[in-house]
Structure 1
Amino acid sequence: MQAKVVVVGSLNMDLVTRASRLPQPGETVVGSGFATVPGGKGANQAVAAARLGAPTAMVGCVGDDAYGVQLRQALLDEGIDCQAVDAVPGVSSGVALIVVDDASQNAIVIVAGGNGEVTPQRVSAADALLQQAEVIVCQLEVPAQTVAFALKRGRELGKTVILNPAPASAPLPADWFAHIDYLIPNESEALALTGIAVDSLAGAQQAAAWLLARGARKVIITLGAQGSLFADGAGFEHFAAPKVQAVDTTAAGDTFVGAFAAALSRGESERAAIAFGQVAAALSVTRAGAQPSIPTQADVAGFARP
């Protein structure tokens, strides 16, 4: 298989509990269930790209523990090329501790584990995968120097390069922008990158304009139930989200990114790819869990907007 989408990023085991509401600092609340679910932004986006029609490969690391075996097998079960997913001796696999409330909002704490071992050298060793890709996707759950290397190498190879700046806590390094074709933050990430509150469509436009002024080629700010805002040098376009009953928003953003990458990799226009990603993300929030919630290409094709 020649991978059309290559994801450089994280693999986590999600430890998920549900509660009536998210706890306040210092507070204990009673949960109503617990599950271990394969996740991690990189792995989620790889699964989304694969389920949504793109031959996909993953570049990342797990620990030499039971979670690592499960995480790698979950990707293999999706038909994802895992030749560049390394098990690192003496290191735990990454984990994410997730609480989901009755309003389907979540709070997440991540522990990097093996994700901290994804070095530029490991990405360089997977260069054959990068060379055959149409689209290269990165996030921020692996070391920053590794992300910088992957973005730069993607630009050198002339690939379509996507950065989902998640999780974001500060502005991006200025020299990253020249290597990114599509920068895809959500509202809170856009605030962290720009200092501009994205609490309205006008706020999203201001944040997108700020990012464009810093050198971003194209920006897509995902707005949850409000859809997404696309911005480039020609202006702005708002894409409304399909109306669905949300159960769990975990991995909705990852589903959008993976779906968008998959659509681009098969030659669809960016606007068609955004619309495809919106439907995939909407379907994902109607289901619980991270990777289990991600729909297939047939699911998206069968979705009828109300």
Structure 2
Amino acid sequence: MARIAVVGSINMDLVTRTPRRPRPGETILGTSFESVPGGKGANQAIAAGRAGARVDFIGAIGTDVFGTALRNVLADNEIGAEGLRTIEGSSGIAAIVVDESGENSIIVVGGANAALTDLTAADLAIIAEADILLCQLEIPVDTVTAAARHARSNGTLVLLNPSPARPLPASTWSTVDIAVVNEGEAAQLDSELGGVAHVLTTRGGSGASYRGPEGDFHHPGVPVAVVDTTGAGDTFTGALAAHWHEGPETALAWACTAGALATTAFGATAAIPTAAEITRVLRDRGEPGTTSVPANG
């Protein structure tokens, strides 16, 4: 069982479903509304846990009504939350519009996530003891850099999902062992990614590609009936981290399968599949990793 430390965001997703996404200046009627726990960090932590890893989460929530609900969702998913601190003010939120095709548009307001500006001695110990540090960019870049440097100095692999994409200092990229990007991020960060040993590029319904010491290869993805793509990329990343120790090919099969299954239900965390569900699809498709079912799956 892999041990993963996630330093990242945790939000309440405010999700509206509409027949189509509105054009600029246009008001349209939605068909439903739901508050769903999310945030790239929390989504990836829960995905890694459900895929079989032991996960500790380092992040921040606010003193508003969302904070308690967000803490509870980590506990319900058996995610270690000793590194979750409470910051006076609002929790992070994401305003999400999902259309009938399952595609989404998202606006993120950092809230307490933006106040995650330091790492405690306990946080650093969690990172040092992990097999993989998993980070995204919905928290301050300086915090990501500090976590990644500490991980590198303690032999912990650094997996970065540089989303939302933004310029990063060379000192941050120099600590990254594995990067997960979508096609748009891959184009935007092309030169920066050149120095990363392992780069995985997600391609929506067309699967994902790997470039690294193991060569270059592509997974075609898993055909599913898409309901909601929210959180699919985070599910991909969490499952990849949970099975990275089995090699890139097996990890990519787990990630693509998990990401596809995550689009078949509504809501980022509710749709994240378990290890047993992922394994069932892998076995039916004759994929790598079908004999590796984590004990907590």
Q: TM > 0.5 between the two?
A: yes
Q: What is the deviation of 1:122?
A: 2.5
**Cα distance in 1 for residues equivalent to 2:145 and 2:95:** 27
Matched, 1:228 2:227: no
2:188 maps to amino acid = A
2:59 maps to amino acid = G
Q: What is the deviation of 1:235?
A: 4.2
1:270 maps to amino acid = P
Quote the residue 1:178 is aligned against: 174
Q: What is the deviation of 1:76?
A: 0.5
Matched, 1:287 2:262: no
Quote the residue 2:85 is aligned against: 86
1:183 maps to amino acid = A
Quote the residue 1:114 is aligned against: 112
- Pairing of 1:169-248 with structure 2 (within 5 A): 170-194=166-190, 210-213=191-194, 215-233=195-213, 235-248=215-228
**Cα distance in 1 for residues equivalent to 2:2 and 2:217:** 31
**Cα distance in 1 for residues equivalent to 2:188 and 2:233:** 16
**2:129–2:156 CA contact under 8 A, matched in 1:** no
Q: What is the deviation of 1:24?
A: 1.1
**Cα distance in 1 for residues equivalent to 2:213 and 2:170:** 18
In the superposition, the TM-score normalised over structure 2's length comes to 0.92
**Cα distance in 2 for residues equivalent to 1:211 and 1:232:** 15
Segments of 5+ residues of structure 1 without an aligned counterpart are 195-209
**Cα distance in 2 for residues equivalent to 1:82 and 1:263:** 22
**2:9–2:60 CA contact under 8 A, matched in 1:** yes
- Pairing of 1:1-306 with structure 2 (within 5 A): 4-89=3-88, 91-119=89-117, 121-122=118-119, 124-168=121-165, 170-194=166-190, 210-213=191-194, 215-233=195-213, 235-264=215-244, 267-303=245-281, 304-305=284-285
In the superposition, the TM-score normalised over structure 1's length comes to 0.89
1:35 maps to amino acid = E
1:244 maps to amino acid = V
**Cα distance in 1 for residues equivalent to 2:167 and 2:19:** 34
Corresponding residue SS for 1:184: strand
**2:141–2:168 CA contact under 8 A, matched in 1:** no
Corresponding residue SS for 2:31: strand
Q: What is the deviation of 1:236?
A: 2.0
1:276 maps to amino acid = W
2:207 maps to amino acid = G
1:172 maps to amino acid = L
**Cα distance in 1 for residues equivalent to 2:172 and 2:200:** 16
Q: What is the deviation of 1:212?
A: 4.7
**Cα distance in 2 for residues equivalent to 1:3 and 1:60:** 20
**Cα distance in 2 for residues equivalent to 1:54 and 1:216:** 24
**2:62–2:111 CA contact under 8 A, matched in 1:** yes
Check 1:212–1:88 CA distance in 2 against 1; reply closer, same or farther (3 A cut).
Answer: closer
**Cα distance in 1 for residues equivalent to 2:206 and 2:27:** 32
Once the two structures are superposed, what CA deviation does each residue of 1:4-32 show, in whole Å capped at 9, x if it has no partner? 11100000000001001111111111100
**Cα distance in 2 for residues equivalent to 1:7 and 1:116:** 16
Corresponding residue SS for 2:200: strand
Percent of aligned pairs with the same residue?
Answer: 43
Corresponding residue SS for 1:179: coil
Corresponding residue SS for 2:270: helix
**1:5–1:134 CA contact under 8 A, matched in 2:** yes
**Cα distance in 2 for residues equivalent to 1:23 and 1:74:** 31
**Cα distance in 1 for residues equivalent to 2:92 and 2:59:** 11
Segments of 5+ residues of structure 2 without an aligned counterpart are 287-297
Corresponding residue SS for 1:152: helix
Once the two structures are superposed, what CA deviation does each residue of 1:217-244 show, in whole Å capped at 9, x if it has no partner? 1110111111111112564211110111
**Cα distance in 2 for residues equivalent to 1:212 and 1:94:** 28
Aligned residues: 284
